[in-house]
Structure 1
Amino acid sequence: MANVSKSLNAGVHNATGIEFQKHCVLFLLLDNYEKLKERKYFICLEHHDDFLFCFQNGNGELTSIDAYQAKKSSGKWGVSDELCDILRKLVEVGVALKEDSIQKNECYSHALHFVTNDAITLRAGSKPKVVTTTINESNNWVEFVKLDKKIRDCLEEKVKKKLKSNITALNEVGNIKFCFIDFGKTRQGHIERLIGKFILTFSNKVKDPNAAILTLLELFREIETAFNQGYKAKLLDKKKRVESDVINEALNIITSQQMAFETWRNHRKDFAKSLGLNLIQQREFELHFNNSFDLFKDYHQAEHIKILSFVRNNSQLLESCTDEVMLVEEMFKKFKSENNSQLDEVELKAAVFAACIELINPHE
């Protein structure tokens, strides 16, 4: 039986630790984006473990979980008391995940990761028969079961001593994986690494990757400060989740805004002439179309929802329009002829423009 521990909420008070955890979450999200973007999942922070990636099937059943203990380090790791404490926590998490009452698929499985920003050197045996495995930038992902038997036996024995009466948790050691992330030692170093990873993932689709990274990190703010009620972690607790739909929507908004900005910048004079925008109105127009992407997903913004739906329902105009300027002009005329709007003229034009950019550039 997994023990209830007040340490479940300890990380909520530890801003530095959570910051590193969030950076690791985002790095792994970007690093695996091509695989993740078509999958249904949710991410938990400070819930059973430092963070979890929980994968679901179409029925909402859990198919697998990747659990992570993320520790920032200023020095290299060895077969130390601290490392074995981390491994003990991981195997106890494995038991807790099995016991969690959330519905699981019959083929459910989980992996238990220790992730850090410095090299891990695992060494066992005595001279001249010492065996060593190092997890670092050139060998950044190692499974426990693939370690040399001497190292496995050494770690297993040390973890067994720490488990005391909870010896059944030792069955989880086979699910452990060691992971190295090439982060620097400072927050700025982490952000720079994340920006680089974001650029590699999305190429030139986003003008300001630094702002994009900060936007994505903000998604975790609410769940990082939510307590596990009664010091009991439950995967059914949606207050501790960020769903894949929310992540995808945030990425869609980021890339759509960039596309809109680039389209406006490249054809500003043509759009201004076509939509009858004077120089003062052009500045207002730019502000409104940037805001429109957020308003499109706010169910309280009936006018913007109506405009987005109208544009999507009139996608046949893509067949008769030869460029973006013509499409926005024709879509705006059609909307005006068929609808009334509470938005002022410039805001309405900006919302139609933003909706048309989404229509032209559907998200992958």
Structure 2
Amino acid sequence: MAIKYNPEINAGVHANIGMDFQKNCTIYLFLEKYNSLKNQRYFIVLEHLDDIIFGFLENNSTLSKIETYQAKKSSTKWTSGTILEIIKKIAETSQSILDDPHLKNSTFNQENYFATNNTIELKSTVKKQDYVCTINESTQNFDYKNLDQNIKDKLLKGNKKIAFSKEDEANFQTLNFRFIDLGRTSQSQLDLLNGMFVSVFGNSISDHKAALHTFYYALKKIENNLNQGNVATLSDNKKRIESHEIEKILNILTTKKLAYDFWRDKGEEIRQNLNINIFDASAFELHYLNSFDKFKDINESEHQKIYNFVENNKQIFRNHTLDKDCMNDFVNSFEREKSSTLLSLQLKATIVAAYIEIKNTL
């Protein structure tokens, strides 16, 4: 029996790779912008009005700027003919943002990007003369408004399926073409992003791969949420991840790095001070390191109780000059004033973890 060729057999796989590209592109842009983002209030939206949206806020609630990205991976270069549907969608998204009821300030502006990991070649031939604009690794960004008028005219002609209105044309003033230097496979993209995490965060994070995957799954969570009422609005919190949530993720990872470093430098001294024998050393260390995740888990009530105790008794920090004496005081105070279902070994490890995390916020 002859084997039938089916060109659609890998459609689902290619769709998943495309979705991965959008999340990976988001992380790429986040890391690229991080030094400016970390001082701003912002949010990220996926699979909503557009593939990717960065929203920048003034006074915590008023929009000052929106950046949208129609992010597409491709194994072939893009041309003036193949991008028409995409830029039509971008123009419509631009108008949707203008019409969106989210409060905007008086200087609100938007930038709308077609972002891809392959070359964009925009070309028009008039009276045998070629007018060409190429966006790739050598020219990574180009504004529509700076295109030669002959190329603009060719784009605006559209085709049998795509026609552009005067409103679309007006919205093209915020259109940009962007080359994103990400590989064609998900793995090559993740490898590059891991290297970017190392470059951006250096030694402040101990496990850059864990940081990458933590951020990836945080994006996946909002991506999978449905648009509420089948209407896409910028204020839909289920489709947004806020800057304070991202900072919380990064702070957890940074805290873990500090925790590892502290244990490496003073673990033996801590055990000696709290009378933890060598036999129990590994279990104590494991409880200590696991506590940092459990402090963030609302189901871990005992860890929450211990963390809150240390947080509410920060005056103890003022009574000591040495870590070992201060930790002892917290342990003794807790045992004197509170009770816990945790065994003594885990209780001490958890108090030490709370001590380290809270100390680093003082």
Q: Structure 1-normalised TM-score?
A: 0.86
Q: Shift in Å at residue 250 of structure 1?
A: 0.9
The structure-2 alpha-carbon separation of the partners of 1:307 and 1:123, relative to structure 1 and needing over 3 Å to count, comes to same
Aligned residue for 1:289?
288
Q: Which runs of 4+ in 1 moved over 6 A?
A: none
Distance 1:141 1:344, change over 3 A: farther
Measure, in 2, the Cα distance between the counterparts of 1:333 and 1:160: 79
Asked if 1:221 is matched to 2:220, the reply is: yes
Task: Tell me if structure 1 keeps the 8 A contact 2:50–2:70.
Answer: yes
| Paired position in structure 2 for 1:108 | 108
Residue 232 in structure 1 maps to residue 268 in structure 2: no
Q: 1:340, CA displacement in angstroms?
A: 3.1
2:251: which partner in 1? 252
How has the CA–CA distance of structure 1 residues 71 and 358 changed in structure 2, closer, same or farther, with 3 Å as cutoff? same
Aligned-partner Cα distance in 2 for 1:126–1:25: 38
Report the secondary structure of 2:51's partner residue: strand
Offset of residue 85 of structure 1:
1.4
Q: Quote the offset at 1:251 in angstroms.
A: 0.9
Secondary structure at 1:101 match in 2: coil
Which whole-Å deviations, capped at 9, do the CAs of 1:313-357 have from their partners, x for residues lacking one?
454555665554454334333433443333322222222222222
Distance 1:45 1:296 in 2: 28
Pairwise mapping of residues 21-60 of structure 1 onto structure 2 (< 5 A)?
Answer: 21-60=22-61
Q: Report the Cα distance in structure 1 between the residues aligned to 2:324 and 2:183, rounded to whole angstroms.
A: 45
Q: Gaps spanning 5+ residues in structure 1: where?
A: 1-10
Matches of residues 78-117 of structure 1 in structure 2 within 5 Å? 78-79=79-80, 81-117=81-117
Give the 3 Å change call, closer, same or farther, for CA 58–342 of structure 1 in structure 2. Answer: farther
Q: Distance in 1 between matches of 2:254 and 2:60?
A: 30
Aligned residues of 2:197 and 2:208 also touching (Cα < 8 A)? yes
Whether the aligned pair in 2 keeps the contact of 1:199 and 1:209 (CA below 8 Å) is: yes
1:359 is aligned to 2:358: yes
Shift of 1:301: 3.8
**2:211 corresponds to:** 212
* Correspondence 1:174-213 to 2 at 5 A: 174-213=173-212
Q: Residues 124 and 257 of structure 1: is their aligned pair in 2 closer, same or farther, counting only changes over 3 Å?
A: same
Identity %: 37
Q: Cα distance 1:263–1:158, how it changes in 2: closer, same or farther (>3 A)? A: same
Aligned AA (2:212): I
Cα offsets for 1:244-280 (capped at 9, x unmatched): 2211111111111122112212322112211222234
Deviations 1:24-79 (A, max 9, x none): 11111111112112322221111011111122222512222111100011122232
Aligned residues: 350
Q: SS where residue 82 of structure 1 aligns?
A: coil
AA in 2 matched with 1:83:
I
- Equivalent residues of 1:87, 1:159 under 8 A apart: no
SS of residue in 1 equivalent to 2:232: coil
Q: CA RMSD in A?
A: 2.8
CA contact (8 A) 2:23 2:220 kept: no
Q: What per-residue deviation string (whole Å, max 9, x for no partner) do you get for residues 187-217 of structure 1? A: 1101111101100111012222112211111
Larger radius of gyration: 2
